[in-house]
């Protein structure tokens, strides 16, 4: 997975795919992450973008544990659209852990940013076992 870029996608469940006329309204639940983080700001922007074309519509931001939890939220019908990193979407599609089945009915409708910060955390036992002290050494070993 070393070549996977960490993009944030909005994924949508198939139930949210209907076409709306501008005068129609739709109340859509968006699975995000923390209530005060970057993704909540994205939720506000998504709400504004939807309202510019469909003034009577509303995006309701639902907090969650992030991308993996958002795939589950889509599958269980708790939300109609969700924020998910591309690596998480690929894992969900393939049915890899933490998922027990493939989630192949997800669709990307927008890429919101491609500069997702990432913090690498390793355990002390990993560092001791592989004798690493930098990201470069982890990549090499």
Q: Are 120 and 22 in contact (CB under 8 A)?
A: no
Q: Could you report the per-residue pLDDT of 3-17, keeping only the tens digit for each?
A: 344 455 565 543 444
When pLDDT is cut at 50, 70 and 90, the band that residue 111 belongs to is: confident
pLDDT in tens, 48-105: 888 888 888 889 999 999 999 999 999 999 999 999 988 899 999 999 999 999 999 8
Question: Which residue ranges form the domains of the chain, and what is each CATH number?
Answer: 8-116 (3.40.190.10)
Q: The pTM is what?
A: 0.71
DSSP helix/strand/coil, 60: strand
Whole-number Å distance between alpha carbons of 12 and 71: 9
- In this prediction, residue 115 carries a pLDDT of 78
| Spatial separation of the C-alpha atoms in residues 27 and 62, rounded to whole Å | 13
Average pLDDT over every residue of 102-123 = 82
Alpha helices in the chain (DSSP H): 38-53, 67-75, 86-94, 124-130, 135-140
Cβ-proximal residues to 37 (8 Å cutoff; 6+ apart), any chain: none
Report d(CA 47, CA 132) in Å as an integer.
45
């Amino acid at each position: 997975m070393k070549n996977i870029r960490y993009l944030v996608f909005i994924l949508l469940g198939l139930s949210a795919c209907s076409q709306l006329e501008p005068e129609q309204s739709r109340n859509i639940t968006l699975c995000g992450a923390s209530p005060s983080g970057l993704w909540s700001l994205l939720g506000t922007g998504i709400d504004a973008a939807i309202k510019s074309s469909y003034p009577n519509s509303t995006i309701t931001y639902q907090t969650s544990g992030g991308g993996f939890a958002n795939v589950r939220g889509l599958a269980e019908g708790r939300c109609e659209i969700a924020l998910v990193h591309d690596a998480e979407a690929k894992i969900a599609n393939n049915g890899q852990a933490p998922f027990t089945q493939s989630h192949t009915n997800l669709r990307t409708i927008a890429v919101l940013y491609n500069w997702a910060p990432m913090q690498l955390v390793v355990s002390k036992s990993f560092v001791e076992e592989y004798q690493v002290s930098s990201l470069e050494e982890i990549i090499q070993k």
